[in-house]
Amino acid sequence: MHDFCLTIPYGMILMGGGVVGYVKKGSIASLAGGLGTGLLLILAGYLSLKAFERRKNSYLALSIEIVCAAVLTFVMGQRYVQTSKIMPAGIVAGISALMTAFFLYKIATGGNHFPIKSE
């Protein structure tokens, strides 16, 4: 599976979560954090998709993806430990930990792989 296949939906989920946090609790931090990281991840996914279309890997995109996911894992993991609230801290920390592992796997295996052109 290519990184952009999961990165773009992951970014959209974070954006949606930020908006929901703002609407339900009036949390500006939730809105800014969700929209900011979500947009950054969608941009990284888009860069990776465009690189894939040129049959290349975007290590800039992978770097952005892994940093965002790792930071979210750490920050939301700490928040979960402090509050013991599954929603949203535990869920975001868990999803972000899985995404961090996926991005590390993509880096370890050389990025996106391209189908062989048959002639």
* Residue pLDDT, tens place only, 49-105: 999 999 999 999 999 999 999 999 999 999 999 999 998 899 999 999 999 999 999
* Residue pLDDT, tens place only, 97-109: 999 999 999 999 9
User: Is residue 107 within 8 Å of residue 57, measured between CB atoms?
Assistant: no
Residue 76 pLDDT: 96
* Residue pLDDT, tens place only, 17-32: 999 999 999 999 999 9
**Which band of pLDDT confidence, cut at 50, 70 and 90, is reported for residue 12?**
very high
Residue 117 pLDDT: 75
**Which band of pLDDT confidence, cut at 50, 70 and 90, is reported for residue 116?**
confident
Q: Give residues with Cβ within 8 angstroms of 32, minimum separation 6.
A: 18
User: Is residue 58 within 8 Å of residue 24, measured between CB atoms?
Assistant: no
Q: pTM of the entire structure?
A: 0.91
Residue 108 tokens read as 């370890």
Q: What is the distance between the alpha carbons of residues 67 and 20, in angstroms, rounded to a whole number?
A: 24
